[in-house]
Amino acid sequence: MTDAPAAVSPLRRRMIDDMTLRNLSPATQRSYLHAVTKFSRYFGRSPDRLGLEDVRAFQVYLVSQGISWPALNQTVCALRFFYGVTLDRAEIPERIAYARTPRKLPAILSADEVVRFLEAVPSLKARTALTTAYAAGLRASETVSLKVGDIDSQRMVIQVRHGKGAKDRTVMLSPQLLAILRTYWRLARPRNWLFPGRGDKPIDVQVLYAACRSATKAAGLTKRVSVHTLRHYLPCRTMSG
């Protein structure tokens, strides 16, 4: 299988026909043909004479050359199609592994950046809610669902109800956060929900997301800040749950 326009091998023609019958787009067909051709040229042999170990060796080579993960997976798709459809070797495709895209680490803020960010939130309620998420390591949904009674100043803990997986858990309440929450309570006087919204509902999580976006811009931060980012700055210290 070569790219020479003068002659098309029977194997290449069969793969083209297979892709056409399955209504693959012209761009996908070109991509698949290019990948299989590159695979063939790497070993200097027709691809129908290459096996699973050759595929694995080719994948290792591509990774060593710095190929991007999407491009590597595109090659995997091409080889799985070639072996599974064109060569009708159904046992091979499922053994050609896709590459897992590396997870990017969340942006981590410095202590100064955290202070600048929180000071840039104009709303007392939103600022206190984000401070709580940051100091206690809470998710946005957990933060907005807090009730006044969930703050236990005697045991110095916060009761998080119906967190991830609908599980309850208890997290530490620092003296600094307790002082901030007491000041907030004196000024806002929340009765049921710690951060009340409209009617008898807590503040909407979208309010916190919007506050994050505007405060990031106002603080002049180049990093993307979210409630998730704040949680990773100071991990939640779970005591039970």
pLDDT tens figures, 117-129: 999 999 999 999 9
Q: Cα(234)–Cα(82) distance, rounded to whole angstroms?
A: 49
Name the residue ranges covered by the structural domains of the chain: 10-95, 111-232
- Checking if the pLDDT of 104 tops 70, the result is no
**Which pairing describes strands 169-172 and 151-152: parallel, antiparallel, or unpaired?**
unpaired
- pLDDT band at residue 238 under the 50/70/90 scheme: very low
pLDDT (average), residues 43-65: 93
**What six digits make up the tokens of 162?**
């119906």
- Residue 194's nearest CA partner among 154, 233, 151, 161 is 151
pLDDT of 225 reads 80
Alpha-helix residue ranges (DSSP H) falling in the chain: 10-21, 26-43, 52-64, 69-81, 111-119, 124-136, 140-144, 175-188, 205-218, 227-233
- Checking if the pLDDT of 72 tops 80, the result is yes
Query: Which pTM value belongs to this model?
Result: 0.54
pLDDT of 107 reads 63
Higher pLDDT, 7 or 201: 201
Domain 10-95: give its CATH architecture.
Answer: Orthogonal Bundle (1.10)
The CATH number that domain 111-232 falls under is 1.10.443.10
**What six digits make up the tokens of 3?**
């790219």
Question: What's the pLDDT tens digit per position in 144-192?
Answer: 999 999 999 999 999 998 756 567 889 999 999 999 999 999 999 999 9
pLDDT of 2 reads 46
10-95 against 111-232: fold identical: no
Q: Could you give the C-alpha distances from 27 to 4, 8, 15, 34, 186, in angstroms and in order?
A: 18, 18, 14, 11, 63
Question: What's the pLDDT tens digit per position in 180-225?
Answer: 999 999 999 999 999 999 888 999 999 999 999 999 999 998 877 8
- Checking if the pLDDT of 15 tops 60, the result is yes
pLDDT of 89 reads 92
- Residue 109's nearest CA partner among 209, 205, 238, 219 is 219
pLDDT (average), residues 15-30: 94
- Checking if the pLDDT of 226 tops 90, the result is no
User: Can you state the angle between helices 52-64 and 69-81, rounded to 10 degrees?
Assistant: 160
Question: What's the pLDDT tens digit per position in 73-100?
Answer: 999 999 999 999 999 998 899 899 887 7
**What six digits make up the tokens of 231?**
């949680």
- pLDDT band at residue 230 under the 50/70/90 scheme: confident
pLDDT of 3 reads 47
Compute the mean pLDDT over every residue in the chain, rounded to the nearest whole number: 86
Higher pLDDT, 69 or 142: 142
